[in-house]
Amino acid sequence: MPKPIFPVNFADQAPKARIVQYNKKRYSIRLEPVFWRALEMVANDHDLKVGKFIGKLETIYQGHNFSSFLRVFCMISAERHLAAAETDTNKDTLLSIINASPSPAALMAQDMTIISSNSAFYNWIGEDKYALEGSSINKLFQLRTRGLLQDNLKELLTAQIPHIDARIIRMIPGKVITAQARIVRASLPNQKKQHLVIWIASAPRITPPKPS
């Protein structure tokens, strides 16, 4: 039997414009109240006022619709918190294990979208943490596996194989970074939803790009 849809009073969710200020810059932003509340909660998690938090997000934003970026950021943050709640067992969450790992690691949705990563991962990638969350892993680097990656993922998510070993290649101006990685399925008993975790399993090798 399908679950009933929780009633929502959409009349109370009309977009509201707010002006926030950070570092002598003023931002006029128009968002629905639910997104303002989400931003305030995430900012509070980082011990920041919402104006300063939005200012920090603005420094990593690249695009033409900052309000849309903030909405997506709120949804990614909600997904990350949901993943933490779903994988919570005896207060040792999957995210806490990833964050404590000295090796670069990231929690991903089944479509390879990054939900969260540890400091070793975003330091290794050379990107800001908030710039990574919501990005597809395939946009950060190439993943080379035996056989097709999508076929391997299907077998991994259906427990036909225990893990996927991959060679990752990240090309940035002036150098090519390669390393070995392992992708594993992350799930707990009695839970239908599954996530993926990618671990960087070897020290990166840095070489200059081949001349064209």
Residue 83 confidence (pLDDT): 62
Residue 90 confidence (pLDDT): 39
Count structural domains, the chain: 2
The C-alpha atoms of residue 162 and residue 84 are separated, in whole angstroms, by 22
Residue 203 confidence (pLDDT): 65
In terms of DSSP H, where are the helices of the chain?
A: 33-45, 50-60, 66-86, 94-100, 119-125, 129-132, 137-140, 149-157
1 within some domain: no
* DSSP at 63: S
Residue 91 confidence (pLDDT): 39
Q: Are residues 116 and 186 in the same domain?
A: yes
Domain that holds residue 37: 14-82
Q: Are residues 71 and 97 in the same domain?
A: no
The C-alpha atoms of residue 18 and residue 36 are separated, in whole angstroms, by 9
33 within some domain: yes
**Segments of the chain with pLDDT less than 70:** 1-12, 82-93, 187-193, 202-204, 209-212
Residue 153 confidence (pLDDT): 93
Q: Are residues 103 and 123 in the same domain?
A: yes
